[in-house]
Amino acid sequence: MNKASRQEAILTGAIQLLAAKGLSGFTHRAVDQFADLPQGSSSYYFPKKIPFLIAVSAFLVDQLDQDCDGLQVSFSELIAEHGLDVARDLYAQALVEYLEASRPLFLARIELTLAAARNDELADIGEKLTVAARRPIAFGLKLISGRKEDRQIETCAGLIDGITLIHATGQGQKPTAQQVSAVFRLIL
């Protein structure tokens, strides 16, 4: 395994660990176990915890950005094939499916955002993670809404994001495509 592959495995393992055990279980040894790598692998690449968490956050932002790019392409194809009204409902369904499949990413995001709120050295990562996680929601809303104000789009994206985070933590029901579509219609 080359250096880049090993680092990616470590960062992926770190996200899985954060999703499963939270920040309290975040140790180099535990990351190595989740990444299925020899002990000492993560501490070799990331010897200190704060820079390690910053690297995990940047990797998570990249993952969320890649996922958003995929959703944007699929939404553009839906509009071209079905028209805007049908595409809105289909996008809501695709978004719900994505949010369910990406639950570990959202749990890791919660852990890292809380860490950022409590540690000045991590202060800017919470906002970056929130922006990256809401990007696919806001993208769809901008296309659906036409010329609505950014404030309305941000409100709607925040509402859907909040519903998603509540579900990701096991505190609420899984949002349905109909609920997401209804939020789109109500706010926009």
Length of the chain: 188
Q: Which range, of 25-29, 50-54, 96-100, averages the lowest pLDDT? A: 96-100
CB of 52 within 8 A of CB of 14? yes
The string of pLDDT tens digits covering residues 109-167 is 999 999 999 999 999 999 999 999 888 888 877 777 766 678 888 888 888 888 888 88
Boundaries of domain holding 39? 1-47
User: Does residue 8 share a domain with residue 91?
Assistant: no
pLDDT band at 100 (very low <50, low <70, confident <90, very high): confident
Q: Residue 87: what pLDDT?
A: 73
CB of 168 within 8 A of CB of 110? yes
User: Does residue 149 share a domain with residue 108?
Assistant: yes
* For helices 150-168 and 84-101, angle between their N-to-C axes, nearest 10 degrees: 40
Q: Residue 152: what pLDDT?
A: 82
User: Does residue 112 share a domain with residue 176?
Assistant: yes
**CA-CA distances (angstroms) from residue 90 to 9, 11, 55, 140, 144?**
33, 32, 34, 11, 12
* Longest Cα separation, the chain: 54
User: Does residue 29 share a domain with residue 85?
Assistant: no
The string of pLDDT tens digits covering residues 21-43 is 999 999 999 999 999 999 999 99
User: Does residue 126 share a domain with residue 79?
Assistant: yes
CATH number of the structural domain spanning residue 8: 1.10.10.60
Rounded CA gap, 22 and 20, in Å? Answer: 6
